[in-house]
Amino acid sequence: MSDPETMRDWSVERLHQDHGQALRVAQMHYDSETDHQRLLVFENPTFGRILTLDGVVQVTEADNFIYHEMLTHVPILAHGAAKRVLIVGGGDGGMAREVLKHDSIEQVTMVEIDAGVVDFSKKYLAAISDGAFDDLRLDLVINDGAVFMKQNADVYDVIIIDSTDPVGPGEVLFTDHFYGHAKARLAEGGILVTQNGVPFLQGDELTGTMRAFKTLFSDYSCYLASIPTYAGGPMAFGWGSDSNARHVDLTTLEARFKAAGISTDYYTPEVHRGAFALPPFVARLIP
Ligand code: SAM
């Protein structure tokens, strides 16, 4: 792998200080600088088409279902009566795809900072959004999520932070100020969930988010799922709410999942409940 020849055919991700991952580039579909970040879309024999932003894997055709199912169906089915959802980030359209599977959802607002990500995802990663951008319930706003959250007066039943990592444009989405504004945008019984990195390598990020959630919510924690291309072990999803929705029982979840009538490849009510069972090395990161 150290041979320059082989490295030329690989996309090497160096998100972490001492740990990286390399993904073979079988075909480069697009390589561009948007107004905000470096955007690559390339083909990998195992993972299909892959989007990276500033060299960091954002989404792959093969394993995005895990991440998108767990950041949507867990809060929506735990809530039980969600009608309005806000997605911050999510430019590839995968999060919107999963939210819109729920006929009970009446309105989805998606606030994405980089129109280039949406445009290129529509063109090169259409399988991921799978028609979400054409759904009349979706309102796409091109803006910084931090600015939108401060200025917008609407309230939502579920808010999903589907951002890049806290470097570059995503950094503002991991601040106490942002979480405080997000809390103000939650309707009664609302739930805030966040992409919170891989605790084994990004434990400080999770602790930072949980410290903020501790001051904002009566109930806060995280839940886990392993996504192969988010390297380094299970990924944490932050959870904050003033409701008791995190503790909804299995029977209720099963009834709601059945009523929703949606097909999934990772989410089940049992997986939902199990995702909140934290190993000690993760639980210790929650203040
Ligand atoms: N699944 C990925 C992960 O876990 O890292 C996230 C995928 S999604 C493509 C991340 C999106 O967040 C990108 O489209 C990026 O442009 C967007 N983003 C980054 N910072 C943002 C901000 N401040 N406001 C809104 N969107 C932002």
What tens digit of pLDDT does each residue of 177-201 get?
Answer: 999 999 999 999 999 999 999 999 9
CA–centroid distance, 205 to ligand 1, in Å, is: 16
The segment(s) of the chain belonging to CATH 2.30.140.10 are 4-60
Is the CB–ligand 1 distance for residue 44 below 6 Å?
no
CA–centroid distance, 144 to ligand 1, in Å, is: 10
Whether 51 and 59 have beta carbons less than 8 Å apart is answered as: yes
Say whether pLDDT at 251 is over 90. Answer: yes
% the chain with pLDDT above 90 = 89
Say whether pLDDT at 268 is over 70. Answer: yes
pLDDT at 1: 46
Atom of ligand 1 nearest to the CA of 148: 24
CB count, 10 Å around CB of 14?
12
The CATH number corresponding to 4-60 among 3.30.70.3270, 2.30.140.10, 2.40.30.10, 3.30.70.120 equals: 2.30.140.10
Residue 63 annotated to the active site? no
In CATH, the architecture of 64-283 is 3-Layer(aba) Sandwich (3.40)
Q: Per-residue pLDDT averaged across 215-244, rounded?
A: 97
Is the CB–ligand 1 distance for residue 112 below 6 Å?
yes
Predicted structure pTM score? 0.95
Say whether pLDDT at 119 is over 50. Answer: yes
CA–centroid distance, 53 to ligand 1, in Å, is: 9
Atom of ligand 1 nearest to the CA of 145: 24
SS3 labels along the chain: CCCHHHHHCEEEECCCCCCCEEEECCEEEEEEECCCCEEEEEEECCCEEEEEECCEEEEECCCHHHHHHHHHHHHHHHHCCCCEEEEEECCCCHHHHHHCCCCCCCEEEEEECCHHHHHHHHHHCHHHHCCHHHCCCEEEEECCHHHHHHHCCCCEEEEEEECCCCCHHHHHHHCHHHHHHHHHCEEEEEEEEEECCCHHHHHHHHHHHHHHHHHHCCEEEEEEECCCCCCCCCEEEEEEECCCHHHCCHHHHHHHHHHHCCCCCCCCHHHHHHHCCCCHHHHCCCC
Is the CB–ligand 1 distance for residue 59 below 6 Å?
yes
CA distance 251 to 232: 33
Which residue among 36, 54, 163, 179 is best mutated to probe the pocket of ligand 1, counting the most ligand atoms within 8 A of its Cβ? 163
The segment(s) of the chain belonging to CATH 3.40.50.150 are 64-283
Q: Per-residue pLDDT averaged across 106-130, rounded?
A: 96
